[in-house]
Structure 1
């Protein structure tokens, strides 16, 4: 390990120490209303991840890993493997930021929603100066053996950032040294901050799995400025890789969306031609809607995250305030030219997915309208059948009533006939048959009148009932 002066000037061990002093809890705040419960947390959020203060020359070893399925307990256990850090607890990691002072180095841990990043800042090994060519650096990292390889999670970004001092009055000469340091291959470079430093890289992975960035700053560069430069470069590359995670998803969804669009087109054609029953169309449409909704549920967040990460990449590029070196692409120009098509593909796929969902919704509305019309037609036909049945029933009822009048009259006349015979048997001068025959019209008229009164009474009671 190098015995040089540590390239940092803070001994902070957590984010709380980097934040402004917390107001005394017992202090009276009579001049203000009661605090919102989130006021202090939101106020101090801007101090949650302060930039490092890096003393040049320095080596920054940076690793970002996906933390899906990795708990804080797992990360705490890994940090406890560092020298003299066995006493760390999960409570020390609750603010998603922790800076640890090691022997001659500083390690910064940061946990984000999808990834966790580890940044080690240490003095630059003596052999890795600007006169070297692809110097070996990993064996000089001031961490326990295999500590980097055993970080919990899957690597998404790994960068070795070397920051050293050298005059940049002649940017082409400084760029030539930087190109030689990176192995002589084609590089991209920018003057940062309108000329206060020079950044060089080739955006290529080495055999060790790391990218290399080189920052050349003039003598006297401040520690705070060096820290900001490193933070912007490392975040720019990390967010670039996170933004590109939406591209494989977009490519995989292409055939699925194309098949769903063809299926929806077929459904619409059948809906127009009425060649298929509503039930068959509904089953097919539900199948297509389920596929699209499943894709939306599974990948909607990825597309939204891609858009957010892309915005962060562009913001970090803007913050670099690059100036071009004639004959060389700037970092921002190189990145934007290559990620813009990928971002456009992801955005187009997200829009395509949303548009397909809306088209399915419109097709569902059309099918629902067709089903409603068919149902209304069936109801009209059923109502017509019921009306015809009621008319038949009324005719039958009228016929039955006529037969009932005849039957009642027959029984009444029969009773009168038996009564006349009884009177004749008693000795009265009565001809039963003649009397019964003479009373037939009277009996028929009386029964008919009685039936009419019953009908009138029934219709009157129905008319007096209140309508619902």
Structure 2
């Protein structure tokens, strides 16, 4: 029948209900899922967590991917693909959380905690459940290692934590999560190479507890990452001091230098500028990264919503007191580098301007000398013009004389000598007028 769709073709109604999809950006899915990257896990107390941060380069980060793949293969699990930057998995004896960052790789291991006797003897660590040979081969250099124990508040108080777990003389503590938990730490590296933190939880939901734990781990991670700029700042201080002394000497030398010494001073200043810019390029990225990590640290401390416990300083107070000098040192080194670079640039511009002015003066003197020579040449040319008129007149009159001799046979009434005598003033005047006209045209064009 007319108007009927051929067999196998979709019905018109079905075609109208198909969604219209415009051309998709190739990175749309990746960018959309970025807000879901590294989500916190739902956790329940009691729990022992070991957090290790390994500082690596690009090759080390790829080696970390291969290292976690080897662990997963040993447990008969699929390895991560080349685009995976974070991984959470249950390996039976422990849970693993692996995160790939720009400068480091974080490994977080967690196990349920048998809390009997906690605070009376050395507490167990989640790292004990990890294969020792595999753990010893982690790629990179350890920047941070933290043992975090998550315990229910109903069975533990702060008194049992001091002595066997944390150092009492450096104890830092506060209530967190708007009073729903308490966190204790001493910011010290203990005999096992790990720093320690204890979190007592109240009535928090597993997801809120997971977010709190992640922020506490990030506080320790970003604190150490931010401090990577401190050695660079201290090393830069000696180089900057030497460069500033040399710049001061150059400024004094430039002030009293003569023309012959300026090329040598300009060469020294150029070398100093290269040294300053080389150090700036070597440390600028480190100082910028430290500044970013300090900002992340401030945000994570703000996120845990802490308040004071009686007689103890909070994490924010401790960080403000102990990290402010390091942060100021990094910021001061960065500002000092910028200021020195600008001073060297200004001094270079000043010296170059001075050299250019002297070169312009030399050029003007050279042009004046050339003008004098040109005037002399014109005067000599004017002197020679008389001789040129006489010479040209002599040759032309000679030709006229020859013409007069030939014209006598045709009836020319004057003798050749008389004709030549008459032609001399006429030819001389014509030659002189022609040369003057030629000079006027040339000078007018110029």
* TM-score (norm: length of structure 1): 0.81
The alignment status of 1:80 with 2:70, answered yes or no, reads: yes
Which residue of the partner structure matches residue 147 of structure 1? 134
Which residue of the partner structure matches residue 104 of structure 2? 115
The alignment status of 1:256 with 2:243, answered yes or no, reads: no
Structure 2 CA distance, aligned partners of 1:211 and 1:300? 30
Alpha-carbon spacing, 1:179–1:451, altered in 2? closer, same or farther (3 Å): same
CA shift for structure 1 position 289: 1.2
Structure 2 CA distance, aligned partners of 1:260 and 1:28? 70
CA shift for structure 1 position 144: 1.4
The Cα offsets for residues 116-141 of structure 1, whole Å up to 9 and x where unpaired, read as 001111111455x4342333536x72
Backbone CA RMSD of aligned residues:
3.2
Q: Is the contact between residue 75 and residue 91 of structure 2 (CA under 8 Å) also seen in structure 1? A: no
Alpha-carbon spacing, 1:183–1:312, altered in 2? closer, same or farther (3 Å): closer
The alignment status of 1:56 with 2:39, answered yes or no, reads: no
Alpha-carbon spacing, 1:180–1:390, altered in 2? closer, same or farther (3 Å): same
Structure 1 CA distance, aligned partners of 2:437 and 2:421? 26
Q: 1:100 aligns with which of 89, 92, 103?
A: 89
Structure 1 CA distance, aligned partners of 2:314 and 2:30? 38
Structure 1 CA distance, aligned partners of 2:224 and 2:47? 25
Structure 2 gaps of 5+ residues are 1-16, 408-413
Alignment partner of 1:132: what SS?
coil
CA shift for structure 1 position 395: 1.5
Which residue of the partner structure matches residue 366 of structure 1? 350
Which residue of the partner structure matches residue 9 of structure 1? none
Alpha-carbon spacing, 1:183–1:397, altered in 2? closer, same or farther (3 Å): closer
Structure 1 CA distance, aligned partners of 2:183 and 2:42? 18
Which residue of the partner structure matches residue 377 of structure 2? 393
The alignment status of 1:381 with 2:368, answered yes or no, reads: no
Which residue of the partner structure matches residue 137 of structure 1? 125
Q: Is the contact between residue 133 and residue 180 of structure 1 (CA under 8 Å) also seen in structure 2? A: no
The Cα offsets for residues 390-429 of structure 1, whole Å up to 9 and x where unpaired, read as 1111111122222233445566778899999999xxxxxx
- Within a 5 Å distance, the mapping from 1:16-415 to structure 2 comes to 29-30=19-20, 34-68=23-57, 69-82=59-72, 84-85=74-75, 87-91=77-81, 94-127=83-116, 129-137=117-125, 141-167=128-154, 174-186=157-169, 187-218=171-202, 220-275=203-258, 277-408=261-392
The Cα offsets for residues 212-241 of structure 1, whole Å up to 9 and x where unpaired, read as 1111223x5432232122111110011000
Structure with greater helix percent: 2
Q: Which moved more, 1:263-272 or 1:300-309?
A: 263-272
CA shift for structure 1 position 85: 3.6
Structure 1 CA distance, aligned partners of 2:400 and 2:201? 136
Q: Which moved more, 1:254-263 or 1:311-320?
A: 254-263
The Cα offsets for residues 433-465 of structure 1, whole Å up to 9 and x where unpaired, read as 9x69x949x7256325413213304533664x6
* TM-score (norm: length of structure 2): 0.85
Structure 2 CA distance, aligned partners of 1:290 and 1:359? 13
Alpha-carbon spacing, 1:419–1:71, altered in 2? closer, same or farther (3 Å): closer
Which residue of the partner structure matches residue 21 of structure 1? none
Q: Is the contact between residue 76 and residue 88 of structure 1 (CA under 8 Å) also seen in structure 2? A: no
CA shift for structure 1 position 281: 2.5
Alignment partner of 2:51: what SS?
strand
Alignment partner of 1:80: what SS?
helix
Alpha-carbon spacing, 1:94–1:447, altered in 2? closer, same or farther (3 Å): same
Q: Which moved more, 1:222-231 or 1:71-80?
A: 71-80
Alpha-carbon spacing, 1:402–1:178, altered in 2? closer, same or farther (3 Å): same
Structure 1 CA distance, aligned partners of 2:295 and 2:55? 20
Alpha-carbon spacing, 1:403–1:135, altered in 2? closer, same or farther (3 Å): same
Q: Is the contact between residue 83 and residue 102 of structure 1 (CA under 8 Å) also seen in structure 2? A: no
Structure 2 CA distance, aligned partners of 1:410 and 1:235? 107
Q: Is the contact between residue 67 and residue 138 of structure 2 (CA under 8 Å) also seen in structure 1? A: no
Structure 1 gaps of 5+ residues are 1-26, 424-429
Paired residues, what number? 424
CA shift for structure 1 position 28: 5.1
Structure 2 CA distance, aligned partners of 1:256 and 1:28? 68
Alignment partner of 1:70: what SS?
helix
